[in-house]
Structures are given as C-alpha cells and as structure tokens.
Amino acid sequence: MIVQLVFSGLALGSMYALVALGYNITYATSQTVNFSQGQSVMVGAVVAYALHVGAGWPLVPSVLVTLGALAVLGVLVERVAVRPFLRASSIAWLLATIALGIIAENVAMLVFGKDARAFPSDLAVRPWTVLGAGVYPHELLVPAVGVGLMILVELAFRRTLAGRALRAVAFSHDAARLMGIDVTRTISVAYAASSVLAGVAGILLAPLLNVSATMGTTIGLKAFAVAIIGGIESARGIVVAGVLYGIVEAVVAGYLGTGVREILGFALVVLVLLLRPWGLFGVPAPRRV
C-alpha cells in the first residue's frame, strides 16, 4: 500500500515542483510572482488539447506551439500586470496577476467549453505493475520529465549567458544594470520561462487529470505552498519540497483519511512561515542596509 501511495504522490508532487519552480524564477529576478501560474497550467492543457485533439495535429508540433504560446502569455502577464506596478513600487501586481488568472479561466470557459474533456495518451490506458503497485506509465513520465526539466533549468541558470543575466538580476538590479544587463528584458524572460514551466506541467497533467477550465486553480495554490515550504528563493529546495509534499499528501490521505490532508498540508505552510520564513531549504536573506 505504501508503494502505491508513493507512486500516487510522486506524479503530483513533481507537478507541484514544476509549477513552483516558475514562482521561484520570477521571484528571484523581480521579487514578484505570477499568481495566475495555476491558470497557466490550465492554458497549457487547453491549448494542447485544442491543437492535438481539436485540430488533430500530431503531438510534437502541438506541444511546441503550445509552449510558444505560453511564453508569449508569460511576457504579456509581466507587461500588463507586473511591470506598471513594479515601477511604482506597488504590490498591486499581486491582485493584477490574480485578476488575469480569473480572466483566463473565464475566457477558457467561453472558448474551450464548460465541461471536462479527456486528453488521450497511450501511456495512460493500461497500468503497469511496479513493486506490487499499479501505476500508469504516464505517471512515471511526469516525474521523469519534471526532474529532467529542473536539471535543465539549473544548468541554464549556471552555464548560459541569459541564465547568468537572470542570476545577476536576482542578485541586484542596480549592479546588473551597471554591467550592461537589460534588467527589464531579463524579468520579461523570467516570466516567459515561468509560464512555459507551468505549460509543461499542464500538458503532462492533461491525460491524468481531465482538461477543464478550472483544473489549474488548486495546483497553482498548492504549488505556492510548496514554494513557501521549500524556500521561494531556493530552486533545489522547491523540487525536494514539491515531491515530498505530493508524497506526504498521498500517504496522509491513505492512512489518516482525505479529510485530514488539506488541514495538515496548509498547517505546515503556516508553521514554516512562522519558524523558517525563508523556507526549509532556503537561507535567510542578509539584510541590506
């Protein structure tokens, strides 16, 4: 039973981690997050559905076009809901991104339709038996792609010029500007990347969950919890926290009952905020004077 529960938690947990990584990227560069990340997950699933199932495109071009669309969406979110307020040093970006998320959800209801649809995947039809537990191959694909992407993101951060620019901006806007880095554009890129990550999560989730206009809301929220627990400035912390959160959720639901799951999960968030506001794996920020 425990193996089964761990498998269940693994797929969902790596999903949380992917989405939470998006929070991390934008927070590190601009101290803002896109609170419509959950809806970006949904947009990823819905656009991929429209192209692959609706228009009958093959899978690969559907996925590529979807991710392109998500990058554009990320840039738009930053331009419309974050940049104007960041300039004014206001935290209205918080409400503005939530508002955009609600708009996205309602637009999806109008355009995509109102009921949940199935996204076919050959990997989610016949379950495999692994260590005595049943698991859809697709559920194993999710953490595999998830971890792969995280490593890629980490490498990109350290090895590429754009990645270094992102890190420089994260360190200090002024210093980065002095080094000739276009801070505004870098933040824009961070939002695009964050949105693409959510889109990947959406496409991966689509065959497991059903595709619907409201599918992303809970995921966005739980991913934020994961980001807080792991430490929003620590990419590795988020990955570990995401996977752990998913597994703990499943194990708690399995042994204690589903009623307790949400209570324990979010109580943990409050606890972490109280005791270690920088997250379990983060480091306390030195105070700049």
- Footprint of another protein on this chain (CB under 8 A)? 1, 4-5, 8, 11-12, 109, 113-118, 125, 127, 129, 133-136, 205, 208-210, 212-215, 217-218, 250-251, 253-254, 257-259, 262
At residue 209, the 3 state secondary structure works out as coil
Surface-to-core class of residue 10, CB atoms within 10 Å of its CB (0-12 exposed, 13-18 middle, 19+ buried): buried
Query: Which residue's CB is nearer to another protein, number 68 or number 134?
Result: 134
Q: 3-state DSSP: the chain helix, strand, coil percent, rounded to 5?
A: 75, 5, 20
- Rounded to a whole number of angstroms, the minimum distance from the CB of residue 117 to another protein is 7
- Rounded to a whole number of angstroms, the minimum distance from the CB of residue 135 to another protein is 7
Report d(CA 169, CA 218) in Å as an integer. Answer: 31
Query: Which residue's CB is nearer to another protein, number 5 or number 47?
Result: 5
- Rounded to a whole number of angstroms, the minimum distance from the CB of residue 201 to another protein is 12
Query: Which residue's CB is nearer to another protein, number 83 or number 222?
Result: 222
Provide CB contacts within 8 A for 22, sequence distance 6+.
34, 37, 40, 193, 194, 195, 197, 198, 223
Query: Which residue's CB is nearer to another protein, number 118 or number 283?
Result: 118
- Rounded to a whole number of angstroms, the minimum distance from the CB of residue 16 to another protein is 11
Query: Which residue's CB is nearer to another protein, number 81 or number 206?
Result: 206
Q: Specify whether the CB–CB gap between 30 and 187 falls below 8 A.
A: yes
- Rounded to a whole number of angstroms, the minimum distance from the CB of residue 148 to another protein is 21
Report d(CA 230, CA 234) in Å as an integer. Answer: 7
Estimate the crossing angle of helix 216-230 against helix 37-49, to 10 degrees: 140
- Rounded to a whole number of angstroms, the minimum distance from the CB of residue 162 to another protein is 34
Closest CA to 264 of 247, 240, 248: 248
> Torsion-angle region of residue 162: left (phi > 0), alpha (psi -120 to 50) or beta?
alpha
Query: Which residue's CB is nearer to another protein, number 84 or number 127?
Result: 127
